[in-house]
Copies of this chain bind each other. A is one copy, B any other.
Amino acid sequence: MPGTQLTKAGPYLCRTSTSQCSSSQNTKELQPLMSNPVPETTEEKKQQPQGPERPISHQKFKAKLTQWLSYITGDMAVFGEWMKGQFILLQIVDWVLRGAAQVMFVNNPLSGLIIFAGLILQNRWWALNGFVGTLFATVSALILCQNRGAIAAGLYGYNGILVGLLMAVFSNAGDWYWWLLLPNIFMSMACPIVSSALASINSRWDLPVFTLPFNILVCLHMVATGHYNHHFPQILIQPRTSLHNMTWSELDYAKLFSSIPVGIGQVYGCDNAWTGGIFMIALFVSSPITLAHATIGSAVGMVSGLALAAPFQNIYFGLWGYNCVLACIAIGGMFYALTWQTHLLAVACAFFCAYLGSAIANVMSTFGLPACTWPFCLSALTFLLITTETKSIHKLPLAKVTYPEKNLIYFWKMKKEEKIDKQRKKQEQMQVKDVESQLKKDEIIVAMKKKDQEPLDVCTVEVQQEETTQSGTNKNSEAI
């Protein structure tokens, strides 16, 4: 339920905005998520003359709250640093939780915990499979000696959780069919292999691998076994072969509205609206911009479904939403710096993704496969490959991507530095011009003096003249 979160968001934002005296309303909202506990911030506060009318205890409370919030929002970098010194099993739990949240591009163990809570609410067997998947994917990455920083950010776990979850969701053998854990472990251990291989390709264009390893491995498992299998049967998915009934008067607006959180829930294969709502809280904890784009994406998916005359059941079930959610988050502030242009681009990408989702679902159904998140991957990769001549669509280098709010700060800093550089260059050019014009004047005087004394040296003066600009030369020749 997005509404619930938004009311919570109100006071949350207020508390933080009053504690700081920054000028723009926009930055105030984002500040708590990005405040690195660096001494300079505290120094700034000291320098600011604090009004005596405010009670000091109140201010202190707010400062503490901000500090405290900075520990649990954003990417929880401080917590991550602290974790580095802990026991390895504890670290792995942190990595697994971050991996669970990284499906939504969120690098935050608290969000991961909330997401696991949502999964347990949906189905405990699925949640178990998701946990096993994340765990073994992370362990496999450790065995394969992958980059420790990436493992710690959960970047090897998020495909694992999806593989585990969706293999359980699409299994036709019913819940608590324990044999399923075997292919689950095999496939989640293959995640880092496929991730690493895809990264070798995508890194040439500085692109992330998104959930491609999950898509590849789940499709591989499902189509390798199929519906007619003794050990690991899959649910039956068949292509549409006739026109479905569609009466616009039957449209249920309540269900349509609830399809927005359901769409967010379907990112993890969950059709429960409450679970979707819990996921929205998880997103909000880390980054409100991400939550906003997730909601927009889900709504765009719903609208596209109606425009393309999809069966209402599919729309209610969130099947049109989850890809758009991910695509909209990825383009809207995550891999592009958020500006109005990229915001519109994110909305366009969500529409494109919905179209593509329908197309891929139809194609995949021929093989008895679901669409997975192929539509999101392909549309987001397409939109990230665009090159334009405008500066307001700025793709962040992959190594600099963190979360929308921090990305934005990075982008603003970069722009400010560019501006300062430009101004400095302009000033330098101005100075150079001044010096040059002064020099020319001097030359003229020298030339005039020389004319009186040594008329034979005119040639050398002429050589100098060639180096000066034309106007100078003109004056010079007049002078001569």
Q: Which B residues are in CB contact (< 8 Å) with A308?
A: 224-225, 229, 231-232
Q: Which residue of B lies closest to A145 (CB)?
A: B390
Least distance between A246 CB and chain B CB atoms (Å): 5
Least distance between A139 CB and chain B CB atoms (Å): 14
Contact of A196 among B226, B352, B385 (CB under 8 A): B385
List CB contacts (< 8 Å) of A184-205 with chain B.
186, 190, 193-194, 196-201, 204-205
Contact of A144 among B223, B356, B388 (CB under 8 A): B388
Contact of A190 among B146, B352, B358, B381 (CB under 8 A): B352
Q: Which B residues are in CB contact (< 8 Å) with A420?
A: none
Q: Which B residues are in CB contact (< 8 Å) with A240?
A: 226, 228
Contact between chains at A186 and B351 (CB < 8 Å): yes
Contact between chains at B223 and A246 (CB < 8 Å): no
Q: Which B residues are in CB contact (< 8 Å) with A242?
A: 228
Contact between chains at B387 and A200 (CB < 8 Å): yes
List CB contacts (< 8 Å) of A309-364 with chain B.
309, 348, 351-352, 355-356, 358-359, 362-363
Please tell me if A399 contacts chain B, counting CB pairs below 8 Å.
Answer: no
Contact between chains at B359 and A220 (CB < 8 Å): yes
Please tell me if A221 contacts chain B, counting CB pairs below 8 Å.
Answer: yes
Q: Which B residues are in CB contact (< 8 Å) with A352?
A: 190, 193
In the assembled complex, the Cα of A225 lies from the Cα of B361 at a distance in Å of 11
Tell me the interface secondary structure of chain A in the complex. Answer: helix
In the assembled complex, the Cα of A186 lies from the Cα of B367 at a distance in Å of 29
Please tell me if A59 contacts chain B, counting CB pairs below 8 Å.
Answer: no
Please tell me if A366 contacts chain B, counting CB pairs below 8 Å.
Answer: yes
Please tell me if A389 contacts chain B, counting CB pairs below 8 Å.
Answer: yes
Q: Which residue of B lies closest to A205 (CB)?
A: B200
Q: Which B residues are in CB contact (< 8 Å) with A200?
A: 205, 385-387
Q: Which B residues are in CB contact (< 8 Å) with A356?
A: 220, 224
In the assembled complex, the Cα of A246 lies from the Cα of B240 at a distance in Å of 31
What copy number does this chain have within its complex? 3
Please tell me if A46 contacts chain B, counting CB pairs below 8 Å.
Answer: no
In the assembled complex, the Cα of A225 lies from the Cα of B382 at a distance in Å of 21
A223-B359, A230-B246 known; A386-B197 Cβ under 8 A: yes
List CB contacts (< 8 Å) of A425-469 with chain B.
none
In the assembled complex, the Cα of A352 lies from the Cα of B194 at a distance in Å of 11
Please tell me if A25 contacts chain B, counting CB pairs below 8 Å.
Answer: no
Q: Which B residues are in CB contact (< 8 Å) with A18?
A: none
Please tell me if A26 contacts chain B, counting CB pairs below 8 Å.
Answer: no
Please tell me if A7 contacts chain B, counting CB pairs below 8 Å.
Answer: no
Q: Which B residues are in CB contact (< 8 Å) with A196?
A: 385-388
Q: Which B residues are in CB contact (< 8 Å) with A221?
A: 355, 359
In the assembled complex, the Cα of A194 lies from the Cα of B384 at a distance in Å of 10
Least distance between A182 CB and chain B CB atoms (Å): 8
Contact between chains at A145 and B388 (CB < 8 Å): yes
Q: Which B residues are in CB contact (< 8 Å) with A390?
A: 144-145
Please tell me if A147 contacts chain B, counting CB pairs below 8 Å.
Answer: yes
Contact between chains at B201 and A389 (CB < 8 Å): no
Please tell me if A254 contacts chain B, counting CB pairs below 8 Å.
Answer: no
Contact between chains at B386 and A144 (CB < 8 Å): yes
Contact between chains at A388 and B146 (CB < 8 Å): yes
Please tell me if A219 contacts chain B, counting CB pairs below 8 Å.
Answer: yes
Q: Which B residues are in CB contact (< 8 Å) with A385?
A: 196-198, 200-201
Contact between chains at A367 and B367 (CB < 8 Å): no
In the assembled complex, the Cα of A224 lies from the Cα of B379 at a distance in Å of 14
Contact between chains at A224 and B194 (CB < 8 Å): no
Least distance between A81 CB and chain B CB atoms (Å): 21
Contact of A199 among B204, B241, B387 (CB under 8 A): B387
A145-B390, A219-B359 known; A228-B201 Cβ under 8 A: no
List CB contacts (< 8 Å) of A50-86 with chain B.
none
Q: Which residue of B lies closest to A356 (CB)?
A: B220
Q: Which B residues are in CB contact (< 8 Å) with A232?
A: 308-309
Identify 26 residue pairs between A and B in the complex whose beta-carbon atoms are under 8 Å apart, listed by A's number: A144-B388, A145-B390, A146-B389, A193-B348, A193-B383, A193-B386, A196-B388, A197-B386, A200-B205, A200-B385, A200-B386, A204-B204, A220-B355, A221-B355, A221-B359, A223-B362, A224-B355, A224-B358, A224-B359, A225-B358, A226-B240, A229-B309, A230-B243, A231-B308, A362-B367, A366-B367
Shortest Cβ-Cβ A-B pairs, 9 listed:
A197-B385, A224-B358, A224-B359, A230-B309, A145-B390, A231-B309, A200-B385, A223-B359, A197-B382
